[in-house]
A and B are shown apart, each in its own frame.
Chain A
Amino acid sequence: DVKVTQSSRYLVKRTGEKVFLECVQDMDHENMFWYRQDPGLGLRLIYFSYDVKMKEKGDIPEGYSVSREKKERFSLILESASTNQTSMYLCASSSLFLRDNEQFFGPGTRLTVL
C-alpha cells in the first residue's frame, strides 16, 4: 500500500520560531511537492523537488525553504514563522517518468502560528 507520511498532524508554534515539516514517501517517486491549502484559495504550490538536492520554487515560496537530502524525504522549513503562515500543509509525491502522473498526498499538517 503506497504511503506518504507527514511528521505531525497538528502543530502549534509561536511567531518567530523555526518550524520543520517533514514528509516521507515509500514509492521511490522522483517528484515531491509541498502545498498549502487555505479556504477559498485552493491548493497552492510552495516548492517542489524532482530529484535529490534539486528544488524549484512554486507559486508562493516566500517565507519558506526546503531540503531534499534523500529521495524519500522532503522537508519544508519556515525560517521565522508568522501568523499568516497558519494553514494546512500538504505533501505529495509522484513519478517523474511513469505515464500516470497522479500525485499521492500525505494526511496533512495543520499548523497554527500564534
Chain B
Amino acid sequence: EDKVVQSPLSLVVHEGDTVTLNCSYEVTNFRSLLWYKQEKKAPTFLFMLTSSGIEKKSGRLSSILDKKELFSILNITATQTGDSAVYLCAVEPAGNNRKLIWGLGTSLAVNP
C-alpha cells in the first residue's frame, strides 16, 4: 500500500533556529513529491520535486529529494514566527489519475 510518513509530528523551536522536516514514502511508480504549508486555512503550495539531488529553493526554505532512499527534506533557515504552520508532504504515483498520497504533516511552532 502506498504511504507517506512525515517526521517529526510536531516541533517547537525559537526564532532564528534552523529546522529540517522529513518525508519518507513508499509508492509504486513515483512521479513527484510536493510540499505544502498550511496555516489556519487551506494548504498553499511550496515545492514540487521530481529529480534526485536537485535542490529547490525559495527564500529561507529549501527542499531536496532522494529517490534512492525514498525521502525528501524541507529545510527552513533563520525561522520566524510566521513560519509557524503545518507542513504537508504529498507524493504522486504515476498512473494514478494525478491523485496525491498525503502525509499527516509536521506541526511547526516558532516561538519568539
Bin chain A's interface residue count: 20 to 34
Number of A-B contacts (CB under 8 A): 49
A25 to chain B, nearest CB (A): 13
Query: Are A101 and B48 within 8 A (Cβ)?
Result: yes
- CA of A51 to CA of B98 in the docked complex: distance in angstroms? 12
The residues of B that contact A100 with a CB separation of less than 8 Å are 48
The interface stretch among B12-20, B37-45, B74-82 is: B37-45
Bin chain B's interface residue count: 10 to 19
Kindly state whether residue A43 has any CB partner on chain B within 8 Å: yes
- CA of A6 to CA of B15 in the docked complex: distance in angstroms? 35
Q: Can you spell out 12 A-B residue pairs with CB atoms less than 8 angstroms apart?
A: A41-B104, A42-B88, A42-B102, A42-B105, A43-B102, A50-B98, A90-B43, A95-B98, A103-B34, A107-B41, A107-B42, A108-B42
